[in-house]
Amino acid sequence: MTTTLQIRTLDLPQQTIAPPDPLPDELLTVTADRAFPGVVVLTVRGEVDLVTSPLLLNALQAHLPRPGAQLIIDLTAVGFFGAAGLTVLDTIRQATQASGIKLCLIAHTRPVLLPLTITGMHTLFDIHPDLIHALCRVPGSGRHPHPRIPLQSRRTHGSGRNDPLV
For each of the domains in the chain, give its residue range(s) and CATH number, in order of start: 27-143 (3.30.750.24)
pLDDT in tens, the chain (166 residues): 565 555 555 565 555 555 555 555 578 999 999 888 889 999 999 999 999 999 999 999 999 888 889 999 999 999 999 999 999 999 999 999 999 999 999 999 999 999 999 999 999 999 999 999 998 866 554 443 434 433 333 333 343 444 444 3
CB 106 within 8 A of CB 75: yes
CB 43 within 8 A of CB 75: no
Using alpha carbons, select from 130, 135, 131, 86 the residue that is nearest to residue 112.
86
User: pTM of the entire structure?
Assistant: 0.70
Using alpha carbons, select from 14, 103, 34, 41 the residue that is nearest to residue 67.
103
